[in-house]
Amino acid sequence: MIDFGDVALLRPLWLLVLPGLALLLVATRRRDALGDWRRAVDPSLLAVILHRHAIVGAPRRDGPLLASVALIAVALCGPAMKTPGAEQFRNLDATLILLDVSRGERLPQAVAAAQFLLERSGARQLGLVLYAGDAYLASPLTDDANSLESLLYAIDDTTVPDGGIRPDRALAFARRLLREARIVAADVALISDGEGLDPRAERLAASLAGEGRRLHTLFVSARIGADALDPGRRAAMTSLAAAGRGRAGDAAHPQEIAEDIAARGIAHVERGELRALEWRDYGRFLLLLAAAPLLLVLRGRDD
Q: How far apart are the C-alpha atoms of 126 and 8, rounded to whole Å?
A: 35
Residue 119 pLDDT: 87
Residue 126 pLDDT: 93
Residue 291 pLDDT: 79
User: Global pTM?
Assistant: 0.62
Q: How far apart are the C-alpha atoms of 50 and 37, rounded to whole Å?
A: 12
Residue 191 pLDDT: 97
Residue 268 pLDDT: 60
Domains of the chain (ranges, CATH numbers): 2-85+274-298 (no CATH), 89-271 (3.40.50.410)
Instruction: Decide: residue 68, CB within 10 A, 0-12 exposed, 13-18 middle, 19+ buried.
Output: buried
- For 122, phi then psi, to 5°, come to 65, -140
Would you state the torsion angle of the CA atoms of residues 163, 165, 167, 172, taken in this order, to the nearest 10 degrees?
Answer: -30
The pLDDT tens digits along the chain (303 residues) read: 787 877 888 888 888 887 877 777 666 655 555 666 777 778 788 777 776 765 554 445 566 777 787 888 888 888 988 776 545 556 788 999 999 999 888 899 999 999 999 988 877 899 999 999 999 999 889 888 888 888 888 898 889 989 999 999 999 999 999 999 889 889 999 999 999 999 999 999 999 999 989 999 999 986 554 555 578 899 999 999 999 999 999 999 999 999 999 888 665 655 555 444 567 888 888 888 887 777 766 665 444
| Axis-axis angle for helices 255-264, 107-119 (nearest 10) | 30
Question: Closest Cα partner for 94 from 204, 216, 185?
Answer: 185
Residue 222 pLDDT: 63
DSSP string computed for the chain = -EEETTEEESSGGGGGHHHHHHHHHHHHHTS-TTTTHHHHS-HHHHHHHHHHTT-SSPPP-HHHHHHHHHHHHHHHT-EEEEPTT---EEE-EEEEEEEE-S-GGGHHHHHHHHHHHHHTSTTSEEEEEEESSSEEEEEEEES-HHHHHHHHTT--TTSS-S-S--HHHHHHHHHHHHHHTT-SEEEEEEEE-STT--HHHHHHHHHHHHTTEEEEEEE--SSTTTGGG-HHHHHHHHHHHHHTT--EEETTB-HHHHHHHHHH----EEE-S-GGGGEEE-HHHHHHHHHHHHHHHHSPPP-
